[in-house]
Structure 1
């Protein structure tokens, strides 16, 4: 029980570092990643042997997904600031790029879920999905950007 409390405390500390700065220094980023590793390892109940199989695949998947997310962010955030008036042709091109990046992320997830289920049980991979959701929920909550209640 003490281990669980320590992991949660460390995770919340890591989240507070992120929330305070907005951007992470290299040192804070490493600390944040260590908190993420501890959180996922605990949530997924990974043994040391499972962790050595899981983390390289997970990190590789996340890197590939980050590339696609960057394409979407570049398209939706940076371009809209540069040129608020978008032509019909540019809008169509943007939509095609957006859909291609989203499809690429789904393809990456499928590929790596297949790889992960060969290295770990399907239950552990499902626990990864749940751990990601919990981790992101805690991160958003800690940053004060959690979902706001719907008003009628």
Structure 2
């Protein structure tokens, strides 16, 4: 009985932790949307066209970075990497290179798609605005930890 209660409590706490993480992620995303929209001074029409392009790129980028690249790297513990043959290591390097190529092609398509919905000046400014948002977010996180 105690074991069942302990497992139930563990499940509930892990569920609430993941809920908290999802809520924080959504809150950050909402702040980012507001920040970018304001800083780029997007019109209603621009915003309606821009956000689907941006979100699609963001999702695909996340998939490549986290699902594909991390799957390759996390496939092996540090000690297991030492046990890889040169042939196996070369295969992993080729997979990483293919993922980098996919990321590069995605970025090129993203920029092309952005230029179809925003003036070039706003596309250039977008990178600066994203970097600024990330700096502010990181600073806020660092200040909370101290």
Instruction: Please give the range of the TM-score, normalised by the shorter of the 2 chains.
Output: 0.7 to 0.9
Count of paired positions: 123
Aligned to 1:124: 122
**Residue 52 of structure 1 aligns with which residue?**
48
Specify the SS of the correspondent of 1:80: coil
| Cα distance in 2 for residues equivalent to 1:35 and 1:47 | 18
Q: CA deviation at 1:132?
A: 1.7
TM-score (norm 2): 0.74
TM-score of the aligned structures, taking structure 1 as reference length = 0.72
Distance 1:25 1:48, change over 3 A: same
Match runs of 1:22-101 below 5 Å: 25-70=21-66, 71-76=68-73, 78-81=74-77, 83-85=80-82, 86-101=84-99
Structure 2: gaps spanning 5 or more residues: 1-16
More helix per residue: 2
Distance of aligned partners of 1:90 and 1:142 in 2 relative to their CA distance in 1, 3 Å threshold: farther
Rounded Cα–Cα distance in structure 2 between residues aligned with 1:103 and 1:119? 25
Q: Which consecutive unaligned segments of at least 5 residues does structure 1 have? A: 1-20, 145-152
Larger radius of gyration: 2
The one-character-per-residue Cα deviations of 1:45-69 (angstroms, maximum 9, x if unpaired) are 1112111110000000111111110
Residue aligning to 2:131:
133
